[in-house]
Copies of this chain bind each other. A is one copy, B any other.
């Protein structure tokens, strides 16, 4: 197996910089669109054979150094007792969002097998399909992101309902975070047990709170979750989108790898995160639309900044744009490999 990615996670030296892309299994790939033509989004997530198929596609199409399990962060919460639906206009959403203490008290903290067997089944298929190729990353939404999503019900600009709840009834929000973080840890450890070789927490809404409130309402639960995940024996990756005010704390989280978005430069992030973590990121995703020469220069810049960290996993600073030409994504992977070998 190509273990470049796993070595870099643990801070080891590698022959070249490993690379994968957030949202690498998606509509910009013709292979994905063929699967999506016969099954809707939640069906792909919940059918082990289909989820495994689209997880492998970018490994074939792009030559990346890691696969990430195809799923959606919203699916994970269903066993806790919240309904999930999908609409083309807004993606997956919770039609009965959490608004009261009673709503929060009704959530359960089930065993990880309940309702999510399709995840572990898909991972077992992937163990075979990826055996001699690249490691599989398991993932979940971070506890804060899932709590906020369940309070809002669907994607939100300003998270007005979540922030209203936090500042008017902080105790309620802490109760929610406690339940969600306990279940998230169970779920991710079960992914590792099924065969995931690294575990990633996506905190897509981490930047919704300022640094002080991030440290009070998000960080303690994140820290306990990461400590719990470390017992699974695989590297843990944290990506807190938009949280630029608490990077010093995030560096002390206990995660092996910290993902960095494109909102700050990687050298700035490295100097604040400290030397104890590997960094993952952070090229502006729309550089994927550029011609070869400017793209090459941008890749070289990010690689140079990444050398300041103990190790660097190249990635985008956010997901792959839908209008990315596949050949450009493949060219970027090759550039990362070629330029980092020098």
Which of A's residues lie within 8 Å of B, judged by CB?
155, 157-158, 160, 163-164, 166-168, 207, 209-213, 242, 244-245, 262-265, 268, 282, 284, 286-287, 289-290, 301, 317-318, 321-323
Which of A163, A213, A263 is the most central at the interface, judged by chain B CB atoms within 10 Å of its CB? Answer: A263
Residues of B near A318 (CB, < 8 A) are 158
A160-B321, A160-B322, A210-B284 in contact; A263/B290 too (CB < 8 A)? no
| Complex: A265 Cα to B158 Cα, angstroms | 19
- Whether the Cβ atoms of A163 and B245 lie closer than 8 Å is no
- Whether the Cβ atoms of A211 and B264 lie closer than 8 Å is yes
| Complex: A242 Cα to B164 Cα, angstroms | 21
The A interface, classified by DSSP as helix, strand, loop or mixed, is loop
A160-B321, A211-B265, A264-B211 in contact; A167/B244 too (CB < 8 A)? no
What is the CB-to-nearest-CB distance from A12 to chain B, in angstroms, rounded to a whole number? 28
Residues of B near A212 (CB, < 8 A) are 265, 284, 301
| Complex: A96 Cα to B212 Cα, angstroms | 42
**Which of B164, B242, B265, B268 interacts with A263 by CB under 8 Å?**
B242
Question: Can you name the residue of chain B whose Cβ is closest to the Cβ of A160?
Answer: B321
Q: How many copies does the complex hold?
A: 2
- Whether the Cβ atoms of B244 and A286 lie closer than 8 Å is no
What is the CB-to-nearest-CB distance from A239 to chain B, in angstroms, rounded to a whole number? 16
Residues of B near A160 (CB, < 8 A) are 321-323
What is the CB-to-nearest-CB distance from A318 to chain B, in angstroms, rounded to a whole number? 8
| Complex: A323 Cα to B282 Cα, angstroms | 37
Residues of B near A264 (CB, < 8 A) are 210-211, 244-245
A160-B322, A164-B323, A263-B207 in contact; A268/B245 too (CB < 8 A)? yes
- Whether the Cβ atoms of B210 and A289 lie closer than 8 Å is no
Which of A157, A212, A286, A317 is the most central at the interface, judged by chain B CB atoms within 10 Å of its CB? Answer: A286
- Whether the Cβ atoms of A289 and B168 lie closer than 8 Å is yes
Residues of B near A158 (CB, < 8 A) are 318
Residues of B near A301 (CB, < 8 A) are 212
What is the CB-to-nearest-CB distance from A332 to chain B, in angstroms, rounded to a whole number? 13
What is the CB-to-nearest-CB distance from A294 to chain B, in angstroms, rounded to a whole number? 8
A244-B244, A244-B263, A268-B245 in contact; A286/B211 too (CB < 8 A)? no
A160-B322, A211-B265, A212-B265 in contact; A289/B245 too (CB < 8 A)? no
